[in-house]
């Protein structure tokens, strides 16, 4: 993400100071050499000199190769900032990112707003906070607002809308509610929402790519209101094509069910490590893979804290649920049995290694005396929501169970 956009390339014409256009010397092109001229006139004028380059046994002699240059679309001014990166699927980042959005001064800013550093102390890493009634009510409030924000953004999902436009909607909806969008500048994340399209597992950065009919997109909203963080996400179908693709529907609906099944078992005394068994069992029944790198987490006055809540089976998470705890469950499930992920050079965007789509759902939960209260629960009129599963045809391939490190989303 710190990798700045390259300078526009210069015309190699004789004594020419102009920027290059998309006009390329056909001979150089055949030789696999980039030489873009500013104009036909300049190309003709420079021909005598330029053609010498073609004769050379080494076509690169006397030719200063441009640095790896992102090809800027002349119509839209957009470009892929990592043209040589081995992407795992069809999705590409589409820059430039929009300028950083500001949160008005009258809204309290968390510590990372200034320099990106959340300054977490890990002294209490295994201590799980129990919230008193006042703090529980504060969590209820911030989670209710976060649900409103997610619903506002979710309602805007349709083909043609860019993820940057969704970021703007999220940012404004947070600000209207006197809330700071927690992701903004958190460890230098540049935007106010995570938008994870298709093969993106999580932490997708909103950019200039318009959503396409047939995409799925996860919207992960978190906000900070009166000192308390709320965190939830849902995956949405983009257009009818997505809703009528049986593999996509099976992925998205199974992931939704994974979260619901885990929540249904949540009550005081249950171990945090048990959720992974429930989730992986259900995912495997549909031949889907469970991501291991990112986990659910405690959440309160801290955005991310103990407990750590893995979504895969046989994990070693510490602790049991007790009344007053607040935490998230947020399974990330892949359309193939592979659980493996890879990160783009922006240091955020996590994708499946095989380029297969991935879905996710998340709630913030409060442990009560008898179960959990879903603080970020859907409302009757919330956009999105379950659609019928296609007839399942289970396959029996062996699940990929390569282990990776535990992170937090
Ligand atoms: Zn989240
Ligand atoms: Zn989370």
pLDDT 10s digits, 255-279: 999 999 999 999 999 999 999 999 9
pLDDT of amino acid 119: 87
Q: What is the pLDDT of residue 397?
A: 41
108: CA distance to ligand 1 center in Å? 20
**Average pLDDT of 182-193?**
98
220 is in an annotated binding site: yes
Q: Rounded to the nearest whole angstrom, what is the distance from the C-alpha of residue 358 to the centroid of ligand 1?
A: 15
pTM as predicted: 0.80
Tokens of 143: 């989670």
336 CA → ligand 2 middle, Å: 23
User: β-strands 228-237, 36-37: how paired?
Assistant: unpaired
Distance from residue 348's CA to the centre of ligand 1 (Å)? 14
Check whether 66 has a pLDDT greater than 60. no
In the predicted model, is pLDDT for residue 182 greater than 60? Answer: yes
Please tell me the least confidently modeled range out of 8-12, 34-38, 350-354: 8-12
Q: 133-154 and 163-176 helices cross at what angle (nearest 10)?
A: 140
Task: Of 6-10, 210-214, 258-262, give the lowest mean pLDDT range.
Answer: 6-10
133 is in an annotated binding site: no
Write out pLDDT tens, residues 101-118. Answer: 999 999 999 999 999 999
Nearest Cα neighbor of 299 from 220, 243, 355, 246 is 220
Closest CA to 212 of 158, 248, 159, 156: 159
Higher pLDDT pick, 392 / 95: 95
Which pLDDT does position 4 carry in this prediction? Answer: 43
**Which of 359, 360, 364 lies closest to 378, judged by CA?**
364
Mean pLDDT value of segment 232-245: 98
Residues 151, 377 contacting (CB under 8 angstroms): no
Q: Is 369 annotated to bind ligand?
A: no
Q: List domains and CATH numbers for the chain.
A: 1-69 (no CATH), 112-408 (3.90.230.10)
- DSSP letter for each residue of 299-317: -SSSSSEEEEE--STT---
Listed residues: CB within 5 A of ion ligand 1: 220, 231, 233, 362
What's the CA-to-centroid distance between 64 and ligand 1, angstroms? 46
Confidence at residue 393, expressed as pLDDT on a 0 to 100 scale: 52
Is residue 59 predicted with pLDDT exceeding 90? no
Output the pLDDT for position 121: 62
Average pLDDT value for residue range 112-130: 84
Q: Residue 17: CA atoms inside 13 Å, Cβ hemisphere, count?
A: 0
Percent of the chain with pLDDT over 90: 76
pLDDT at residue 51, as a whole number: 81
253 labelled as ligand-binding?
no
Please tell me the distance between residue 328's alpha carbon and the centre of ligand 2 in angstroms. Answer: 6
Please name which ligand lies nearest the alpha carbon of 299.
2
Confidence bin at 408 (pLDDT 50/70/90): very low
The model's confidence at residue 392, banded by pLDDT at 50, 70 and 90, is low
- Which of the two residues, 407 and 384, has the higher pLDDT score? 384
In a 3-state reduction of DSSP, which class is residue 70? coil
Looking at residue 161, its pLDDT comes to: 98
- Which whole number is the average pLDDT over 379-401? 72
CA nearest to 275, candidates 324, 328, 335, 325: 328
pLDDT, residue 67, reads 58
313 and 331 Cβ atoms separated by less than 8 Å:
no
Asked if the peptide bond before residue 206 counts as cis, ω within 30 degrees of 0, the response is: no
Q: Minimal CA–CA distance to 331: which of 263, 258, 246?
A: 258
Q: Give residue-wise pLDDT tens across range 140-176.
A: 999 999 999 999 999 999 999 999 999 999 999 999 9
Q: What is the pLDDT of residue 124?
A: 62
In this prediction, residue 120 has a pLDDT band, given cuts at 50, 70 and 90, of: confident
* pLDDT > 70 fraction of the chain, expressed in percent and rounded: 89
Q: What's the mean pLDDT in 24-47? A: 83
Query: What is the CB neighbour count within 10 angstroms for residue 253?
Result: 18
Distance separating alpha carbons of residues 154 and 169, to the nearest angstrom: 10
pLDDT, averaged across the chain? 90
Q: Is the pLDDT of residue 379 over 60?
A: yes
CB 163 within 8 A of CB 217: yes
Which tokens is 10 given? 């210069």
The reply to whether 203 sits in an annotated binding site is yes
Backbone angles phi, psi at 267, to 5 degrees: -165, 165
287 has pLDDT over 90: yes
Which residues, at least 6 apart from 47, have a Cβ–Cβ distance to it below 8 Å?
none
Q: Which of 27, 36, 101 is nearest to 65 (CA)?
A: 36
Q: Which ligand number lies closest to the CA of residue 329?
A: 2
CA 178 vs. chain centroid, Å, equals: 24
Residue 230 in this model has a pLDDT that exceeds 70? yes
Q: What is the pLDDT of residue 56?
A: 57
Residue-level pLDDT at 14: 81
- Is the per-residue pLDDT at 53 higher than 80? no
């Amino acid at each position: 993400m710190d990798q700045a956009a390259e300078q526009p390339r210069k015309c190699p014409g004789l004594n020419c100071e102009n920027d290059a256009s998309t006009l390329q010397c056909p001979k150089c092109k055949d030789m696999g050499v980039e030489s873009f001229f500013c104009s036909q006139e300049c190309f003709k004028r420079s021909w005598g000199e330029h053609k010498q380059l073609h004769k050379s046994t080494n076509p690169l002699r006397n030719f200063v190769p441009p640095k790896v240059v992102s090809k800027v679309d002349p119509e839209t001014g957009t470009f892929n900032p990592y043209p040589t990166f081995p992407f795992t699927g069809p999705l590409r980042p589409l820059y430039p990112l929009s300028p950083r959005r500001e949160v008005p001064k009258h809204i309290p800013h968390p510590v990372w707003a200034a320099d990106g550093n959340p300054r977490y102390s890990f002294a209490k890493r295994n201590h799980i906070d129990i919230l008193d009634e006042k703090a529980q009510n504060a969590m209820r409030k911030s989670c209710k607002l976060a649900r409103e924000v997610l619903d506002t953004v979710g309602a805007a999902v349709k083909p043609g809308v860019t993820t940057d436009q969704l970021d703007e909607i999220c940012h404004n909806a947070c600000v209207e509610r006197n809330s700071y969008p927690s992701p903004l500048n958190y460890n230098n994340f540049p935007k106010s929402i995570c938008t994870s399209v298709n093969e993106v597992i999580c932490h997708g950065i909103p950019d200039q790519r318009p959503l396409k009919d047939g995409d799925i997109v996860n919207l992960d909203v978190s906000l900070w209101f009166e000192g308390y963080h709320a965190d939830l996400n849902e995956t949405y179908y983009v257009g009818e094509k997505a809703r009528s693709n049986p593999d996509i529907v099976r992925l998205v609906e199974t992931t939704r069910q994974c979260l619901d099944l885990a929540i249904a078992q949540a009550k005081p005394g249950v171990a945090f490590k048990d959720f992974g068994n429930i989730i992986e069992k259900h995912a495997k029944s549909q031949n889907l893979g469970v991501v291991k790198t990112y986990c659910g987490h405690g959440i309160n006055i801290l955005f991310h804290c103990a407990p750590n809540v893995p979504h895969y089976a046989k994990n070693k998470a510490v602790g049991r649920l007790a009344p007053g705890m607040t935490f998230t469950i947020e399974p990330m499930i892949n359309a193939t049995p592979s659980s493996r992920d890879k990160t783009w050079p922006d240091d955020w965007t996590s994708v499946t290694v095989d380029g297969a789509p991935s879905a996710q759902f998340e709630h913030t939960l409060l442990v009560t005396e008898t179960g959990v209260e879903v603080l970020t629960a859907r409302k009757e009129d919330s956009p999105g929501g379950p659609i019928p599963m296609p007839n399942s045809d289970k396959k029996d391939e062996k699940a990929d169970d390569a282990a990776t490190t535990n992170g937090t989303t």
